[in-house]
Chain A
Amino acid sequence: MNIGKFILRRLSLQIFVLLGLTMFTFILMFGLPGDPAALLFSAGGIAAGMDEYHAFRAKWGLDLPMWKQYLNFVGNLIRGDMGTSLVTRAPIIDNLRAYFPATIELAFVSFIFATVMGIPLGVISALKRNSWIDHAIRAVSLFGVSMPIFWLAIIMLIIFYYYLGIVPSSQRIDLDMEIPKHITGFYLIDTIITGYWDGFFNAVHHLMLPSFILGFSVVGLLARVTRASILEVISQDYVRTARSKGLQEKTVIGRHVMRNALIPTITILGLLVGGLLSGAVLTETIFAWPGVGRFAVQSIMLLDRLAVVDVTILIGVAFSTANMIVDIVVAFLDPRIRY
Chain B
Amino acid sequence: MKNFKLLTKLFVFTSLLSFMIACTTTETVEVIKEVPVEKIVEKIVEKEVIKEVIKEVVKEVIIEVAPAPTYAKSINVRDVFFFTEGFTPPRGGSFFEHRISQQIYEGLSALNTPMVTRGDSAVPVPNLAESWKISGDGTTYTFKIREGVKFTTGNSLTGQAVVDSLKRSIFVIELDKATARFSWVTDIVSIDATGDMEVTMVLKNSFAPLLAILASKQFLIVDAAELKKHEEEGDWGAAWGATNSVGTAAFKIDSWVPEQRLTLKRNKDYWGGHDGVGPGADQLVFSNIPENATAELMIAKGEVDVALQMDPISLKTLDLQPKVYTFSYPSLITCNFLIDRRNEHAANDEIFKAIHMAIDYEGLLSVVAMGLGSVHQSLILPGMLGHDPAISNQWSYEPEKAKAIIAEQGYPDGFSIKLQSRAGACGSVVYTKGIEFLQASLKKAGIKAEIVQSTGAKFWGQIIDGTLKDMGISGLGATYFDPDNPASVRATSECFLLGIEQHNKTVADKLKDLVAKGRAETDNDKRHTIYRELNALMVANCGEITVLQVADTVALRTNMSNGIAMPHAFSLDFRYLRKAE
Do A286 and B293 form a contact, CB below 8 Å, given A39-B456, A49-B178, A298-B82?
Answer: yes
Residues A36 and B457 in contact, CB atoms below 8 Å apart: yes
Q: Flag if B460 contacts A52 (CB, 8 Å).
A: no
From 290 to 324 in chain A, residues with beta carbon under 8 angstroms from any chain B beta carbon are: 290, 294-295, 298, 301-303
Tell me if B258 and A98 are in contact (CB < 8 A).
yes
Tell me which of A53, A165, A288 contacts B288 (CB under 8 A).
A288
Question: Which residues on B sit within 8 Å (CB–CB) of A44?
Answer: 93, 181, 479
Write out, one digit per residue, whether chain B residues 252-281 have a CB within 8 A of any chain A CB (1) or not (0). 000101111100000000000000000000
**Inter-chain contacts of B181 with A (CB < 8 A):** 44-45, 48-49, 52
Contacts of B304 in A (CB 8 A): 175
Say yes or no for A5: interface residue by CB 8 A criterion: no
In order of increasing CB-CB distance, the 9 nearest A-B pairs are A49-B180, A34-B457, A45-B489, A39-B457, A38-B460, A34-B458, A33-B458, A42-B460, A35-B461
Contact of A302 with B83 at beta-carbon distance under 8 Å, contacts A41-B460, A46-B493, A47-B494 already known: yes
User: Can you add 5 more A-B contacts, CB < 8 Å, to A51-B180, A132-B7?
Assistant: A34-B461, A45-B494, A89-B85, A157-B294, A169-B297
Evaluate contact between A135 and B4: CB separation under 8 angstroms: yes
Asked whether, in the complex, the Cβ of A162 is within 8 Å of the Cβ of B4, the reply is: no
A144 to chain B, nearest CB (A): 20
Most B-side CB within 10 Å, residue of A50, A98, A131, A175: A175
- Contact status A48-B489, CB under 8 Å: yes
- Which residues on A sit within 8 Å (CB–CB) of B178? 49, 52
B580 at the A interface (CB under 8 A): no
Tell me which residues across on chain A come within 8 A of B490, comparing CB atoms: 45
Contact B83 A32 (CB under 8 A): no
Map CB proximity to B onto A262-286 as digits: 1 under 8 Å, 0 otherwise. Answer: 0000000000000000000000011
Can you list 24 A-B pairs, Cβ within 8 angstroms, ordered by A?
A32-B455, A32-B457, A33-B454, A35-B460, A38-B461, A39-B456, A39-B457, A42-B474, A48-B489, A48-B493, A49-B179, A51-B180, A53-B464, A130-B1, A135-B4, A170-B289, A170-B294, A170-B298, A175-B76, A175-B261, A285-B290, A290-B259, A298-B83, A303-B457
Q: A99 on the interface (CB 8 Å rule)?
A: yes
Q: Considering the complex, give the chain B residue whose CB is closest to the CB of A162.
A: B297
- The verdict on B301 contacting chain A, using a C-beta distance below 8 Å, is yes
Interchain CB contact (< 8 A) of A169 among B177, B290, B303: B303
Provide the residues of chain A in CB contact with B287, threshold 8 Å. 170-171, 175, 288
For residue B140, which residues in chain A have a CB less than 8 angstroms away from its CB?
A: none
Chain A nearest CB: distance from B30 CB in Å?
Answer: 26
Query: A290, B260: Cβ atoms under 8 Å?
Result: yes
Footprint of B on A, CB under 8 Å?
32-36, 38-39, 41-53, 55-56, 59, 85, 87-89, 98-99, 130-132, 135, 154, 157-158, 161-162, 165, 169-172, 175-176, 179, 285-288, 290, 294-295, 298, 301-303
Residues of B within 8 A of A (CB): 1, 3-4, 7, 74, 76, 82-85, 93, 177-181, 183, 255, 257-261, 285, 287-291, 293-294, 297-298, 300-301, 303-304, 423, 454-461, 463-464, 474, 476, 479, 489-490, 493-494, 497
In the bound assembly, the distance between CA atoms of A52 and B464 in angstroms comes to 13
A194 to B463 Cα, complex, angstroms: 54
- What distance in Å separates the Cβ of B430 from its nearest Cβ neighbour in chain A? 14
Rounded to whole angstroms, the CA-CA distance of A298 and B181 in the bound complex is 25
Q: Say which residue of A49, A179, A302 sits within 8 Å of B261 (CB atoms).
A: A179
What residues of chain B lie closer than 8 Å to A85, measured between beta carbons?
83
Q: Which residues of A contact B489 (CB under 8 A)?
A: 45, 48
Contact indicator B83/A286 (Cβ below 8 Å): no
Q: Are B463 and A46 in contact (CB under 8 A)?
A: yes
